[in-house]
Amino acid sequence: MSFTKAKAYLESVGFADHIMEPEASTATVVEAAGNDHSAVQLTIPELEQVANARGWVDVCKEAV
Looking at per-residue pLDDT, the higher value among 16 and 61 belongs to: 16
Q: Give the pLDDT score at 12.
A: 92
For the chain, percent of residues with pLDDT exceeding 70: 83
Give the Cβ contact number of residue 44 at 10 Å: 15
d(C-alpha 29, C-alpha 19), whole Å:
23
pLDDT tens, residue by residue, 24-49? 777 777 766 667 677 777 888 888 88
Average pLDDT score, the chain = 78
φ/ψ (deg, to 5) at 43:
-75, 165
Nearest to 26 by CA among 41, 43, 39, 42: 43
Q: Give the pLDDT score at 64.
A: 64
